[in-house]
Amino acid sequence: MRRFVLTLVVLLSLMLSSAQLVFAGGNGAITSTQNDHGLTQTFHVDPICGSPSGTLTATVNDVFHTTTNNAGDFWLTSTQEGWFTIVPDDPTLPNYAGHFATWFGVSINRNNAVQHDITNIRATATDGSGVTLTFHSVDHLSMSATSHITSFMSCH
């Protein structure tokens, strides 16, 4: 009876957790997916591609997905989007409000690794001037079994 109750508690805990675990058959893979909606974060940002530094407050929706198998191979992907405001450190600059979307992925095994991401941001000055900030970036980094590294970044 004690074993039954303990098993039931573990199963209920897994079902009620914010991350869902799925055990894939055959190779012992374990996947986990976490979804968040309406998270609010405030932090300082440095200048990126000509944007001002300042305090950013964002309300974010996201999903994170991971998979690990018995060989130690690991995959992580995430998609995030939301609305934000930024108050520049320079008080002579206008505040901005806008939307962002970003995706990144990581794949690692005993021989290779790759990381890549895409980010899109668009914000408009809140002072009515019509000034718009846009940012688009694509990054890629990979390492081969011989430790050869390939990377690029595009930002505009």
Q: What is the strand order of the sheet 132-143 is part of?
A: 19-23, 30-45, 54-68, 74-88, 96-108, 113-125, 132-143, 149-155
Taking the C-alpha atoms of residue 141 and residue 90, their distance in angstroms, rounded to an integer, is: 34
Please say if the pLDDT value at position 28 is more than 70. Answer: yes
pTM above 0.85, yes or no: no
The answer to whether residue 4 is domain-embedded is no
The answer to whether residue 14 is domain-embedded is no
In the block, which residue shows the tokens 């986990």? 32
Q: Name residue 135's beta-bridge partners.
A: 121
The answer to whether residue 12 is domain-embedded is no
**pLDDT per residue over 34-75, tens digit each?**
999 999 999 998 887 667 899 999 999 999 999 999 888 999
Residue 101 lies in domain: 20-155
Output the pLDDT for position 2.
42
Total domains present in the chain: 1
Cβ atoms of 85 and 99 within 8 Å: the answer is: no
The answer to whether residue 9 is domain-embedded is no
Output the pLDDT for position 30.
92
